Each structure stands twice: as C-alpha cells, then as structure tokens.
Amino acid sequence: MTITIIGTGLIGGSMALALKKKGFVQHVIGVDANKIHEQKALELKLVDEILPLEDAVKKSDIVVLAIPVSACVTLLPQVLDYVDNQVVIDAGSTKSGLLDAVKDHPKRKRYVPTHPMWGTEFSGPEAALEDAFAGKATVICSKEDCDEEAVKLVEELYRALSMYLVYMNAQDHDVHVAYISHISHITSFALANTVLEKEREEDAIFELASAGFESTVRLAKSNPDMWVPIFRQNRENVLDVLNEHITQLRKFKMCLEKENYDYLRELIENANKIKKVLNRK
C-alpha cells in the first residue's frame, strides 16, 4: 500500500515512520510546501520520494493531510479533485470548517475526518517519533457521511498505530477539544507571557523553574503557525471555554483578596476530582 503524507512535520512524519514500521504501508510519498522540510524528510527516511501534489495523490491509496487547519481548508477540496478511489484523511484539531469546505464536493465520501489526539511542542521533520501514537485516542468524525469501506480502511490504519477509536460528530468534537486541548495551550501561552513580563531575570527563571512549572509551560513552546489557525477555526468554542476559565481564575483571585482560605480549599478539592476521571485510563 502507498500513502501520501502532505505535511512532513511532527504528525505526518511520525505517522509515516510508524505505518512503515508496522508494515501497513510499503511506500511513503511526501508533499510539503516547505522545500527544506521535503529534503529533510528524505534524509531522515520519513518518506521514500517527493512528488508534486497531483502526482502524489494519484499514485497513492491513502492521502493524509497533516498541515495547519487553515491550509487544510484550502487544500482539501483540491486534493479531492484529484481523487479517483483514494481515501483522504486529515489530522487537524478542528473539523467543522473542513466539512463546510467540502460538503458539496462530488468526492466528499472519500474523505474521512480524523483527529489523532497526540502532539508535542516541537515541529518539523526532526520532531517525528516512531511510536508516538500508541495508546492514544483518535477521533473519527461524522463517519455516516463517508463511504463505508473508506471508514474501514481508516480504522485499520489507526489500529495499526495502536490507537483506540472514538466517534463523534464534527460539532461535538470541536466543542470537546476546545475544553480538553485548546484551553491548555492558551493557558500555557498566557502563563509563559506572565512570567516573561514579571520576571525580568532570565537566569532566575532557568535556575528556579521546577518540574511543575516546566510541565505547565511546555505547550508554550508550540508553533504559532499551527495554533493561530486552530484558534481562528474554533473561535466561538475557544471563547466559550476561555470565559469559563477566566471566571475560575477570578474565584481564586477573590479568595486571596478576601483571605477566604476555606473557599480556596473547596476550589482545590473540587479540582482534585479530575484525578478520578483521568485515572480511568
């Protein structure tokens, strides 16, 4: 089987490595707008060859769009224009805009919207990891609008990556990821900016930063070229969760202002309940 990876960075490169290792695909074609990334993907053996978009799509069985969602909205209809019987998936963090972009496309059913729930703060081909996806979830959206055999192939692909499958419609997906993923990044960006604004001594940040601080601001190292389009595409849902997050921050602020440490304890104890949810895994 031949797969085309459009976007040879962290997600696309990791997927290429893992699928080749598992024997799910035998040949990987790379496509990337960044020619340096294309060359690096070849050097690192993430891909076997680089081809122009149309040739790559027509030569493959599966096409993966692993590019920022803003670029994906533009490119997905073009990819579907080149499709005969190929299956097309994306790895984007939002879905409603993508589905709107191709809702009337004659090859719409060959596109299966997906979101593998894994990533790091790093980017580019050098960031690719071979066993990145094992044990993580992937969301398949609105599968009833896709060809049945296309969905089946995509399910096989993600099972080959040792991922477990979650199904939901695009609108619900975009709401849930705003709460589970997108707000985490905004919080990390904001905390990093807070520290950089108030703590002028870089040596003090470096020397005193604990493991807790590092883990909290790790996401602040994420690439803005990926995250600005995500926030833009999921703007309404992100605003909703951001308003709730600000409300929660104000409660903590009020506790300290009023020296209401009993309520502060209640807030922390309530937050501790997240352990029961996360420990179910």
Distances (CA, A) of 211 to 214, 216, 218, 272: 5, 9, 10, 19
Looking at residue 196, what is its pLDDT? 86
Q: Counting beta carbons within 10 angstroms of the beta carbon of residue 168, is it exposed (0 to 12), middle (13 to 18) or buried (19 or more)?
A: middle
Whole-prediction pTM: 0.85
The radius of gyration of the chain's CA atoms, rounded to the nearest angstrom, is: 21
Share of the chain above pLDDT 70, in %: 96
- Tokens, residue 110: 């060959």
* pLDDT digit string, tens, across residues 64-111: 999 999 999 999 999 999 999 999 999 999 999 999 999 999 999 999
Q: How does pLDDT run across 134-146, given as a tens digit for each residue?
A: 999 999 999 999 9
pLDDT band at 215 (very low <50, low <70, confident <90, very high): confident
Q: Is the pLDDT of residue 205 over 80?
A: no
**Predicted local confidence at residue 201, as pLDDT:** 72
**Does the domain spanning 2-168 belong to CATH 3.50.30.10?**
no
Angle value at C-alpha 22, between 18 and 26, nearest 5 degrees: 90
From residue 3, give the alpha-carbon distance in Å to each of 13, 58, 112.
12, 10, 15
Percent pLDDT > 90 in the chain is 81
Question: Comparing 12-21, 250-259, 272-281, which segment has the lowest mean pLDDT?
Answer: 272-281
Domain ranges within the chain, ordered by starting residue: 2-168, 173-278
For the chain, give the mean pLDDT. 93
pLDDT in tens, 35-51: 999 999 999 999 999 99
Mean pLDDT of 249-267: 97
Separation between Cα atoms, residue 37 and residue 10, nearest integer Å: 11
CA distances, 68 to each of 91, 138, 198, 261 (Å): 9, 17, 32, 44
Token digits of residue 114: 């997906």
Q: Is 135 left (phi over 0), alpha (psi -120 to 50) or beta?
A: left
Give the pLDDT score at 94. 95
Please tell me the CATH superfamily of domain 173-278, with its number.
Answer: 6-phosphogluconate dehydrogenase C-terminal like domain (1.10.3660.10)
* Encoded tokens for 213: 């601080």
- Under the banding of pLDDT at 50, 70 and 90, the label for residue 266 is very high
Question: What is the predicted pLDDT for the residue at 275?
Answer: 87
Neighbours of 253 (CB within 10 A): 10
Contact 91, 9 (CB under 8 A): no
